[in-house]
Structure 1
Amino acid sequence: MKTIIALTDFSPHGNHACHYAAALAAQTGATLLLCNVYLEPASFPGAYSIGWPTEEFNLLEQESTGTLQLLRQQLEEEWPALLAANKSRISTASTAGDVATVLTDLDNTGAISLVVAGTHSESGFVELFFGNKMRTLIDTARHPLLLVPLESPMPHLKKLVFATDMEFPEQDIAALRVLKKLTVKTGAELLVTTVLNEDDHGSAWAKEEQQMMSDLSHMAGNIDVKCKVIKGDHVDNVLLRFCTEEKADLLTMVHHNLGMIKRLFKGSTTKKVAGTSGIPLLVIPACLA
């Protein structure tokens, strides 16, 4: 890993994501960039009609910069040994605009390997996938995007789950290569899984799917993984239960599976599970393929 960008709006959710990102940077030896993107005056309704005071805008900029420095100091005090051992360092970026544009500007160096953001809803990922800002961020992301619930403990990655619908094997291979780098850095175990409808797919189909997943792992670079086909009628409950039973630390999907992701965190029962499971979700853009 090269640089991890942790987005924060200084809310408990955003700051928790920064703490999570710092721990991950310490484990992988990556550089950590704390980033706060605040709204430009033009983003506020009627900004020009009422006249936006320059002093107010400067105050907003100063507050963003100052709070980032305090957060940086807190993280450096929290992870001194690990940061020193892995030669990681923490920097900050405070800028006005929209998140997608800022990330594009920061990407000019080509050093970004991961973007981390926190969830902002009691129902966990539901708000992320139905909120316009986060949906735009996901759609425009050119790097893996890690979404961290407030309930997530600090990362000690031991087991990762990659869920696929097997529809786009080239993109799955690209995602597995990303995960391979993470497993090499952390020593985590990787499980590849897919969910089959129990009524429509028999045991022969399940064996075929399992072989296909094994083939994908081989084509991605002989990655040492375990493959498992899960049978069930409801992707959401089945997959979340699987992650819980396997004590997974991270659930991963490719962006083309966004339809599956929406279903995964839709419905009253699943909202409750997603809001309390504390399982971070890693969304890998299809463009990486």
Structure 2
Amino acid sequence: MKTIVIATDFSEGSKDAARYGYHLARQVRSNILLCHAIIIPAEIPQAGMVFWQDEEYELLLEDSASALHEFKEMLDSSLPATGFRPVISCKSQPGIMADVVKALAATPDNELIVSGTHQGRVFNNLLLGNHASNMIDNADKPVLMVSPGTEFRPIKKIAYATEFKDPENDLQHIYQLVYWAKQLNAEVLLVHICNEKKESPVLKEMIADYLVGISNNADYPNIYYRLIRNDRVDEGLDWICDHGQIDMLAMVHQHHNLFGELFAHSHTKQMADHLQLPLLVFPGTKS
């Protein structure tokens, strides 16, 4: 059976994300791997020269395992007695959260990662190694980012936002999204953000053929298209989130090298930073 990997650092925000992921797993009939990364002070550059005894290290592992088990029991007790109940397994490992989650999610059965976001500006998150920012950069599987305080509600419409600069690359992610939408019985709204200067008859014809191909190959009728004319991608994304009556936003994260990241904004990270809707992030091609 497929498994959803849920990352937690036991903060209130990450617990909110885990609760959301738990109800999502119930809806798509998936099991759960609940994981926690143990970061010892010696692994943090700011900590300086700190050395831990083996006994203290074992205590950290025991504390993490105990906290995961307690949280697992709390999640299990939140569901009614009837209906599908996800089987929850727990795993604690030393290391940085993004690295631990990436390793645990590497098996084929682990199809999705769920993580909470932390408030704060994206640029600060990048420099300070925020869990959410690192998770988006490092993951090889789709990551569902959930903001603090988000409560689960049935997912009826998922918007996939794109500029259609690389239609073939978009295609593989759209099919992945359709895979999840079928299980949720949700509509898929393909949102094309484009300024009027780039809107041409050739582009319109390409999009029409593209949509016909998707509908035929995906064998799913609930796929729709909407063009948003805006010169700024972030403003277009804000508009669809505020007015599109969607329950989840999906995007592809395009990776940058270090210098590119400092000077070029990632629209995906910008949305993860302030979005109140769950954000499904598909990993892009790494440069």
TM over 0.5: yes
Letter in 2 for 1:262: S
- Shift of residue 37 of structure 1? 0.5
- Shift of residue 108 of structure 1? 5.2
1:221 equivalent among 210, 218, 221: 218
Give identity over the alignment, percent: 29
Query: Aligned partners of 1:18, 1:156: CA distance in 2, in Å?
Result: 16
Mapping 1:3-82, distance limit 5 Å: 3-40=3-40, 42-45=42-45, 49-81=49-81
1:285 equivalent among 262, 283, 286: 283
Letter in 2 for 1:51: F
- Shift of residue 201 of structure 1? 3.5
Backbone CA RMSD of aligned residues: 3.1
**1:232 alignment partner in structure 2:** 230
Deviations 1:20-60 (A, max 9, x none): 10010010000011111011454034879443233432332
Unaligned runs of 5+ in 2: none
- Could you tell which deviates more after superposition, 154-163 or 202-211? 202-211
Query: Aligned partners of 1:163, 1:236: CA distance in 2, in Å?
Result: 11
Contact 2:99 2:138 in 1 (8 A): no
Contact 1:165 1:257 in 2 (8 A): no
Contact 2:193 2:236 in 1 (8 A): yes
Letter in 1 for 2:112: L
Deviations 1:164-218 (A, max 9, x none): 12122222121112111211111111100111113x1456466336415514523
Query: Aligned partners of 1:46, 1:126: CA distance in 2, in Å?
Result: 19
Query: Aligned partners of 2:123, 2:50: CA distance in 1, in Å?
Result: 36
TM-score, length basis structure 1: 0.83
- Shift of residue 219 of structure 1? 6.3
**2:181 alignment partner in structure 1:** 183
Change (3 A) 1:151 1:104: closer
2:231 partner SS: coil
- Shift of residue 254 of structure 1? 1.6
Query: Aligned partners of 2:248, 2:17: CA distance in 1, in Å?
Result: 14
- Shift of residue 104 of structure 1? 4.2
TM-score, length basis structure 2: 0.83
- Shift of residue 227 of structure 1? 0.6
Unaligned runs of 5+ in 1: none
Contact 1:195 1:238 in 2 (8 A): yes
Q: How many residues align?
A: 278
**1:245 alignment partner in structure 2:** 243
- Shift of residue 63 of structure 1? 1.8
**1:207 alignment partner in structure 2:** 204
Contact 1:210 1:229 in 2 (8 A): no
Change (3 A) 1:149 1:11: same
Query: Aligned partners of 2:191, 2:4: CA distance in 1, in Å?
Result: 27
Change (3 A) 1:151 1:48: closer
Change (3 A) 1:42 1:130: closer
Contact 1:162 1:190 in 2 (8 A): yes
Change (3 A) 1:253 1:99: same
1:22 partner SS: helix
Change (3 A) 1:108 1:143: closer
- Looking at secondary structure, tell me which structure has more helix per residue: 1
- Shift of residue 97 of structure 1? 1.4
